[in-house]
Homo-oligomer: A and B are copies of this chain.
Amino acid sequence: MPRIEKILNYIDGEWKESSAREVVNPATGELLAQTPLSPRKDVDTAAQVAKQALQSWRRTPVQDRVQYLFRLKRLMDENIDEISRTITMECGKTLDEARAEMRRAIENVEVACGTPILSQGWVSEDIASGIDEHMIRQPVGVCAVIVPFNFPGMIPFWYLPYALACGNTCLVKQSEKVPKTMQVVFRLVEQIGLPKGVLNLVNGAKEAVDGILDHPDIRAVSFVGSTPVARYVFSRAAANGKRAQCQGGAKNPVVILPDADMNMATAIIADSAFGCAGQRCLAVSLVITVAEARQTFTDLISEAARNRVVGYGLDEGVQMGPVISAQARDRIEGLVDESIKEGSKAVVDGRAAVINGYEKGSFIRPTVLVDLPPDGKITRTEIFGPVLGMIHVDTLEEALLFVNGGEYGNQASIFTSSGAAARKFRYEANAGNIGINIGVAAPMAFFPFSGWRESFFGDLHGQGKDAVDFFTQKKVVIERWPREWSRKF
């Protein structure tokens, strides 16, 4: 029997208990941990110590602050397997998927190591005789990062390495569904020797979130989750005068033109739609075939869906794990039911999946729905499971109309060999992340993780230069030093 871990908060350089709830391995059904549902006072403590740590951390030169990140990168490199296994156990995705997740996390630490240049301000000499003007970037203060269950190891790193490198102190509110990953990561954080209070971990659910949103000492909030919650967080943070960046949900379309390389497209789209059991905000969930692409692609993707090996992510050869929980599975299956009621057909039906040896797991097999009604409610609903819907149109123009008709704007992709079609799509698709022959257009850490319309609230994104902009306040300084004052020398 596996050890039932007691998940702890990490506040002010110490591990602390709080009231708890159960965490279950979604593949095996085993109880993994007791996660704290931190009350407001835990958040308050974390914010207080972070505030106290701010003054001296802010005064630490930036090239010294990034030394902690260089160490963290190395420790994460060295411990990528342990972290990845933890992700698989509590989150369900395969080990390869977990490793890829952690590589992007590490890449963000790497990019944040470049903060000495990224955080430079600007200077103009002589805006008038003897007067110079500077823009200096200073830290925002205490920052909070609120992360969802689906990338427990990566998403905190879209933000926190930049927040720290820019001189802020930080608290991470990890999802109560997947608390173990950050436990492992914070064991590494402990080793890099950060001053107490600079980086803190709080576990919990809504009460902890509200504690953050209402706390007067927390100046900035970074959030990833569903659109309704993202909108709630954005608006409550704003009402409290905070800056916020809130990533929401998605329903990502992909357009298949007849001149696409169909085998490549199939392989890539299968990975996108079914990888991480579809629980990815950049998962392709809606295929739009154009003209004669329809039949070929439907056949190929159906075959790929059927052949995908589903099981426990730690087992060799497994290509897809369970969804996060039994409730999630039931919700997804219910949405498939509804879609069928709306008129779609399941050419591959992954519901009621039973995986030998993992009968308690929350599995759904890959599912392919065709003939989605273009105006169906479920056609536009984020399912967040391994369910790929397909619709068909006659022209690229129609496909774009459909792409731009949804409310989300996280990602849109096209498969084609035509430079002109690619350019038209890139230019016109209303989404923040665009893939050309790409299934998961996840921006590298040196680009912003974009998102438009209902998929993002705010104006500065996570990762790279956007993160540095978000985690610094611009201070403009105008200095007059009259020439005649030095006449006395």
Contact = CB atoms under 8 A, between A and B. Distances in A.
Nearest to A234: B238
A117 interface: yes
Given A111-B117, A444-B116, A474 B124 contact: no
A268 to B, nearest CB: 8
Interface in A393-426: 395-396, 416-424, 426
- The dominant DSSP class at the A interface is mixed
Given A118-B114, A486-B420, A444 B479 contact: no
A486 B259 CA distance: 11
Given A264-B482, A416-B419, A444-B133, A239 B238 contact: yes
A432 interface: yes
Interface in A106-158: 107, 110-111, 113-114, 116-138
Given A118-B117, A234-B238, A421-B486, A460 B457 contact: no
A272 to B, nearest CB: 12
Given A74-B74, A107-B63, A474-B432, A438 B480 contact: yes
Residue with the greatest number of chain B CB neighbours at <10 A, chosen from A244, A424, A435: A424
Interface stretch (A79-87, A170-178, A463-471): A463-471
Residue with the greatest number of chain B CB neighbours at <10 A, chosen from A59, A63, A118, A465: A63
A335 interface: no
Given A117-B446, A447-B124, A420 B477 contact: no
A229 B177 CA distance: 39
Given A117-B118, A120-B123, A123-B121, A477 B418 contact: no
A105 interface: no
A95 to B, nearest CB: 21
Interface in A35-65: 59, 61-63
Nearest to A431: B475
A466 B465 CA distance: 13
Interface in A223-279: 231, 234-235, 237-239, 241, 243-244, 257-259, 261, 264
Contact of A450 (B116, B237, B238, B476): B476
A465 B446 CA distance: 16
Interface size class of A (residues with CB under 8 A): 35 or more
Nearest to A237: B238
A459 B469 contact: yes
A7 B176 CA distance: 58
Nearest to A409: B473
A434 interface: yes
Contact of A458 (B116, B134, B243): B243
30 contacts: A61-B129, A62-B124, A63-B110, A63-B127, A66-B110, A70-B74, A74-B74, A111-B117, A114-B114, A114-B118, A117-B446, A120-B446, A121-B122, A122-B122, A124-B446, A125-B136, A238-B239, A257-B489, A261-B485, A290-B489, A416-B419, A417-B418, A418-B485, A418-B489, A422-B479, A426-B479, A436-B478, A436-B479, A437-B480, A448-B474
A300 to B, nearest CB: 18
A486 B396 contact: yes
A280 interface: no
Contacts of A422: 419, 479, 481
A183 interface: no
